[in-house]
Amino acid sequence: MAAEHEHGLYLPRSIELVEAIEENALEKTFVFDLLDGEPMPYNAGQFMLLTVFGAGEAPFTLCSMPGEAPRVRLTVRRYPGGRVTEALHAMEPGAHAGIRGPFGNGFPMDALRGRDVLVVAGGIGMAPQRGLIEAILNERDSFGRLTVFYGMANPEQMLYKDLMAQWQERDDLDLRLTIDRPHPDWDGHVGLITTLFQDFEADPSRLSVTIVGPPVMYPFVTQECATLGVADEDILVSLERRMACGVGKCGHCAIKGHYVCIEGPVFTLAQYKEFGED
Amino acid sequence: MNATDHFIAPTLALHGDLVFARVASADAVELDYENSLISPTCYLLPQREAVFTYAMADGAPPEVRAVVPPESDILFGVRPCDVAAIEYLDRFFMGGEFKDDVYARRRATKTIVAMGCTGPQNETCWCTCSHAGPVARNGFDLQLTPVGDDYLVEVGSERGMALVEPAGDLLTEAGAPELLAERDRLVEASWHKFGCQGNIAQAMRWISGDDTPEELWQELGAKCFGCGSCSLVCPVCSCFDTYEYAEDGMGARIRCWDSCHFPGYSLEASGFNPRETASERMFHYAHHKLCYDTFSKYGRPGCVGCGRCVQVCSAQIDLPSIAQVIRERGRQCRDCTAHAPVHEGAGET
Ligand code: SF4
Ligand code: SF4
């Protein structure tokens, strides 16, 4: 780590916007090239701090597949009034920005190898998990069954529509989509993401579950996992916290002495319950 | 003193407040002073500082420049509580996986000349309880302690040695052992004058064992105004936020003090706030200050007993008061609901 920070912990590396893909009304996927040409190895689930010069810096989880560097891909929701996300959404290809990272632990790929994996993604929670799914598909034989639950409020919100269509064709990935309420353009499953557990059978001793979504989703999904018999050690959650540094100094992400930016953002449910929410 | 060194010392500001500031001559230095409301740690972690600057140009990536290290300074007259705070900040910013180079650059240019106390400076001092004073045991380059008409001079580092060498003829080694013994006698005799005794360790035990009732945090939260003053004046508190300052194609990333008591501290862009209520924020603040997690990482509680939060908190729920309520109510409250409300225990330390 140390060598990567020889220019200072807080100095961003220059990146150039290659493409901004409009996913839906609020979310875009930004593809950036690193201008120094240096590699930037990272694990699925790690995050970066992105600088929009003139606006500020904010943390975003990478959604690219590890190994895609020196190119990075981030899906970002625009929050009206959010200085960084508004400025980012206004950027055109060719524009420059800055990036620091990768930070945090990412998904424990070693612990997941050899196991069945259930990915539970609510809304923009698909973004950080896309890298995980692609990393698993990349070494498909090292993992058992791969199931993906992806829930969203309505069909327009779906991220990576082309990729979803491709995934649906595959027989080594079981993608199950749901929308919260009936919609004229939708003939698939309707209901909250927890309803997808009704037709899901698994051997809980072989199953690991990863969960990323809006905060309200976690208690309900972890309850379903408990009913299924999955141990808290095998349930992984990725926490989102406000961060101003990414390196355990600014204090914002700390929960009872645990820094989400260093020890997380991915925790087992057992760890999370131990330090609890404060 | 090196000609390029700035001398930062306790001095009187325009309206008579004691501050640590650059002094042009020895006459301006106060030698008998109550500690300043803003700690001299502000020269290590300033209220606001540029982390880097940049120049924006059309079609080219902005040229990002690290901030030039500051010139060297002698911090003169740092009280032992603040010396302990500097040791804490050093470990926090420069230890662990990531070394904060912005802090480290400032720190490298500072020489610490401590001024030991032989008793409390005012009724809010509680360093004896927080294991930080009244004299520093380490963490200084040089420590002076007034003993009678003399000063006991302790050298803590080579830098400190370099400072005293030119003053050779003012110093005598002959009386040093007697002065040292006399100072220690004065310090010990002053112990009972410190208002608050021995409750931080017990409060730490209760809070680390989660032996604090929920209602205690709600009561403290209900009293807190969320003004953040307690953490802004605290020399140990180190939370910061960053913001951008940009104009005419030039810009800077600025970092500035922040407080976990501010409602917006943990507020995320999505509108989700993991610490939405004042009681949750109070719980977080007290745990960060008093839990063994802090102790095991930094070798001391997150409080050095300087008493500044006691001076600024208008709700009288400063850290010594919090520690006292935890001690009084921490354990028995598990089973007993007939306890005194917070305000009767708080504010009397
Ligand atoms: S918590 Fe209060 S008494 Fe303790 S170091 Fe901070 S300001 Fe001083
Ligand atoms: S100074 Fe007192 S009122 Fe203000 S935030 Fe701190 S505890 Fe709350």
Contact flag B293-A256 (C-beta cutoff 8 Å): yes
Residues A152 and A224 grouped into a single domain: yes
Q: Which backbone phi and psi does A198 adopt, to 5 degrees?
A: -60, -40
pLDDT of residue B347: 33
Residue at A57 is within a domain: yes
Give the nearest partner residue to A57 out of B66, B242, B258, using CB atoms: B242
SS3 category, B186: helix
- Ligand 1 atom nearest the C-alpha of B132 is 5
Calpha distance B259→B238 (Å, rounded):
9
Residue A203 pLDDT > 70 = yes
Residues A114 and A234 grouped into a single domain: yes
CA distance B234 to chain A (A): 15
Bridge pairing between strands A174-179 and A146-152: parallel
Residue at A136 is within a domain: yes
Residues A217 and A131 grouped into a single domain: yes
With CA atoms as reference, report the closest residue to A247 among B255, B114, B336, B165: B255
Residues A87 and A198 grouped into a single domain: no
Q: Residues A40, A42, A43, CA angle at the centre, nearest 5°?
A: 170
Asked if B56 reaches chain A (Cβ–Cβ under 8 Å), the answer is yes
Ligand nearest to the CA of B85: 1
Give the nearest partner residue to A96 out of B61, B269, B272, using CB atoms: B61
Digit-coded pLDDT (tens) for B283-302: 999 999 998 778 888 878 99
How many residues are there in chain A?
278
Calpha distance B209→B203 (Å, rounded):
10
pLDDT of residue A4: 43
- Residues near ligand 2 (Cβ within 6 A): B 224-230, 261, 312-313, 315, 317
Q: How confident is the model at residue A154 (pLDDT cuts 50, 70, 90)?
A: very high
End-to-end CA distance of chain B: 41
C-beta atoms surrounding B173 within 10 Å:
7
Residues A114 and A83 grouped into a single domain: no
Ligand nearest to the CA of B125: 1
| Domain containing residue A146 | 109-238
Residues A93 and A115 grouped into a single domain: no
- CATH number for A79: 2.40.30.10
CB contacts under 8 A, B 99-138 vs A, are 99-102
Contacts of A245 in chain B (CB under 8 A): 240, 242
Domain end, chosen from A81, A102, A123, is at A102
Q: How confident is the model at residue A69 (pLDDT cuts 50, 70, 90)?
A: low
H or E segment and range at residue A236: strand A235-238
- Residues B190-210 have a mean pLDDT of 80
Residues A226 and A137 grouped into a single domain: yes
Residue at A29 is within a domain: yes
Residue at A164 is within a domain: yes
Residue B342 pLDDT > 60 = no
With CA atoms as reference, report the closest residue to A25 among A117, A169, A154, A196: A154
Asked if A87 reaches chain B (Cβ–Cβ under 8 Å), the answer is no
> To test ligand 2's pocket by mutation, which of B229, B282, B285, B308 has the most ligand atoms within 8 angstroms of CB?
B229
SS3 category, B103: helix
- Residues near ligand 1 (Cβ within 6 A): B 233-236, 289, 303-309, 318-319
Digit-coded pLDDT (tens) for B13-59: 988 999 999 998 889 999 999 999 999 999 999 999 999 999 988 88
CA of B316 to the centre of ligand 2 (A): 8
Domain end, chosen from A102, A132, A154, is at A102
Calpha distance B342→B326 (Å, rounded):
10
SS3 category, B36: coil
pLDDT of residue B196: 66
Q: Total domain count for chain A?
A: 2
Strand order in the sheet with B142-147: B18-22, B6-12, B73-78, B110-115, B142-147, B150-155
CA of B315 to the centre of ligand 2 (A): 7
- CATH number for A139: 3.40.50.80
Residues A192 and A90 grouped into a single domain: no
Residues A212, A186: contact at Cβ < 8 Å?
A: no
Residue at A225 is within a domain: yes
Residue at A258 is within a domain: no
Residues A143 and A220 grouped into a single domain: yes
Residues A91 and A186 grouped into a single domain: no
C-beta atoms surrounding B90 within 10 Å:
16
> To test ligand 2's pocket by mutation, which of B124, B220, B224 has the most ligand atoms within 8 angstroms of CB?
B224
Residue B333 pLDDT > 60 = no
Calpha distance B347→B175 (Å, rounded):
43
Ligand nearest to the CA of B278: 2
Question: B207 or A191, which is more confident?
Answer: A191
- Residues B213-228 have a mean pLDDT of 94
pLDDT of residue A255: 83
Q: What is the mean pLDDT of chain A?
A: 91
Give the nearest partner residue to B239 out of A1, A84, A251, using CB atoms: A251
- Residues A80-96 have a mean pLDDT of 93
pTM: 0.90
CB contacts under 8 A, A 171-230 vs B, are 214-215
Residue at A250 is within a domain: no
Residues A60 and A163 grouped into a single domain: no
Give the nearest partner residue to B270 out of A79, A254, A255, using CB atoms: A79
Contact flag A55-B66 (C-beta cutoff 8 Å): no
Phi/psi-derived region of residue A77, left when phi > 0, alpha when psi is between -120 and 50, beta in every other case: beta
- Residues A123-150 have a mean pLDDT of 95
Domain end, chosen from A102, A128, A151, is at A102
Asked if A275 reaches chain B (Cβ–Cβ under 8 Å), the answer is no
CA of B307 to the centre of ligand 1 (A): 5
Residue B344 pLDDT > 50 = no
Residue at A259 is within a domain: no
Residues A114 and A229 grouped into a single domain: yes
With CA atoms as reference, report the closest residue to B221 among B261, B167, B166, B176: B261
Digit-coded pLDDT (tens) for B152-189: 999 999 999 999 888 777 777 777 888 899 999 999 98
